[in-house]
Structure 1
């Protein structure tokens, strides 16, 4: 298939266009960024699991799902990036499964952020009904909706590829990337339409929640105005984060225009897209709920410092012992 042939041809010229030291530096930079990201996320997930008040609050549960999804997505995407950089070929069917999982996770984060914005809308605009709406049953239904919608574009791509694939293609080996599953033009066009509809729905919900919370903030008393304004800033941060996440959906189609270009140009484009539209938006979640949220920040700081104060942390006794997070 054309996409498979282009993928292999472009990747086969990668080493000739890149010196090995330069390629190593690029890969190491990503590993450092991913390592820091995973460390912070694991620390936040641990903080979430250690406190009952977080496990019973809808917005923290949604935040924990975002951390889990983003961490899994980062690990899988990083593996694909390293394998692609060093031209490691894997079975086409295995590649298809991995890309399907990555696509589901990639769609799950924006939808979870939308759910978090809706939760903030209910908390600010309908505070008396918040406890009745934010129940375990509602959360379960919300998770089913999020994962169901997230699976639609990925399952379409997976099934469409299997319907048009030539016999024996699944046993081939190739450099794994999303483009492998986009063998026919109609597949790419239909997938774009699905993502555009999803983008439109997400935009409508974000704009709706923003204006509703803004209206509530203007009408709120002085005591509640601070809380409403903070929620408004949170929605704005989510909107920016969603913009970067949505752009991630479009990067494969931007990269398609460079399939026949120089392999170094294509690799640099993928490298920049990986950092800007995959790593960067995932780093905003810890900022929004890990640092700006006072309750979560106190718990996070407690476990980050192993339960010690700053002065105790640098005492000779502490430095001579291994910290154990309890």
Structure 2
């Protein structure tokens, strides 16, 4: 009889330990990401010359979008780990933000590649929409496109009229209830369309810039940097597409390892959703020489201030003793 009573307790303790480990892995990773993003945004806010360039404005927009995406994703992760239940009406806004920012990422990459294309091929006759004082029109258009597709996705869902959205509580997950086949098909079609269009745009801009390098003889350095930037956007797109390999990795893990479903879900979330969103802005930001220099100065200033404060406290302690 004692063995039967100990089994549930052991299973519960193992599950609690697994939850603690997962949270301890995600939270420091998330805090490190927030520190890096905060430093970058502080550099942009303190150095006004960055906000006078369309390329850096789009990069700031990508930072904000990825921050919202990771923040909503981590909140959903913590709610699932803590088995927190919400009313449907309170859960939908968080899911909506997560879905919109996820779809926004490939659109931003395509826009940044097109901006490099316009800057290289039309340096003196740049269209008004691509100038720094009008780039907000393109940014607003990207938000409208992402929001419209997400609204359509939620509107075609078949909801149960007997379920009240206010008192009914359920886990706040990516799929809070059984999704209809039409919604699953629409979501898959939109994802494939987004990433296919962005891949074509990145390939097109890279080929045009590559052909332009054969014509230009003077400013080959900036053209070469633009080519590398477009290639980087292609790599960022590949990182974003890792999220669509989750069904494949789930099948492979099930075949070769006896993992629990929640462990498989966490592995896929951390490796194919969280890590790519973390690396994407950091790779682009640290690659830029001007931005990297200001970030290095900012970190050095912070470390010097901390050293001076520690020395001051030590001196005050010695004088008091």
Displacement, 1:302? Answer: 1.8
Quick check: 1:289–1:296 contact (8 Å CA) kept in 2? no
**Structure 1 unaligned regions, length at least 5:** 1-14
Displacement, 1:132? Answer: 4.9
Question: Which of 266, 273, 280 lines up with 1:278 in the alignment?
Answer: 273
Question: Which of 118, 125, 130 lines up with 1:122 in the alignment?
Answer: 118
Bigger radius of gyration, 1 or 2? 2
Task: Report Cα offsets for 1:171-211 as digits up to 9, x if no partner.
Answer: 32111111126521111112211222222211211111111
Aligned pairs for 1:98-247 (under 5 A) are: 98-130=94-126, 132=128, 134-136=130-132, 138-161=134-157, 164-170=159-165, 171-180=167-176, 183-221=179-217, 223-247=218-242
State how far apart, in whole Å, the 1-side matches of 2:274 and 2:143 are.
Answer: 21
State how far apart, in whole Å, the 2-side matches of 1:318 and 1:217 are.
Answer: 52
Aligned pairs for 1:282-297 (under 5 A) are: 282-297=277-292
- Specify the alignment match of 1:60 in structure 2: 56
**Structure 2 unaligned regions, length at least 5:** 1-10, 314-321
The SS at the match of 1:164 is coil
- Specify the alignment match of 2:317 in structure 1: none
Quick check: 1:120–1:231 contact (8 Å CA) kept in 2? yes
Quick check: 1:77–1:102 contact (8 Å CA) kept in 2? yes
- Residues 316 and 111 (structure 1 numbering): CA distance in 2 closer, same or farther, change over 3 Å? closer
- Residues 88 and 178 (structure 1 numbering): CA distance in 2 closer, same or farther, change over 3 Å? same
The SS at the match of 1:306 is helix
Quick check: 1:245–1:281 contact (8 Å CA) kept in 2? yes
State how far apart, in whole Å, the 1-side matches of 2:305 and 2:133 are.
Answer: 46
Displacement, 1:31? Answer: 0.8
State how far apart, in whole Å, the 1-side matches of 2:250 and 2:155 are.
Answer: 21
- Specify the alignment match of 2:3 in structure 1: none
Displacement, 1:254? Answer: 6.4
Displacement, 1:97? Answer: 2.0
Q: How large is the RMSD of aligned CA atoms in angstroms?
A: 3.1
Normalising by structure 2, we get a TM-score of: 0.82
Displacement, 1:244? Answer: 2.3
The SS at the match of 2:86 is strand
- Residues 285 and 228 (structure 1 numbering): CA distance in 2 closer, same or farther, change over 3 Å? same
Kindly indicate whether structure 1 or structure 2 has the higher relative contact order, using CA contacts under 8 Å at least 6 residues apart.
1
Displacement, 1:117? Answer: 0.8
- Specify the alignment match of 1:248 in structure 2: 243
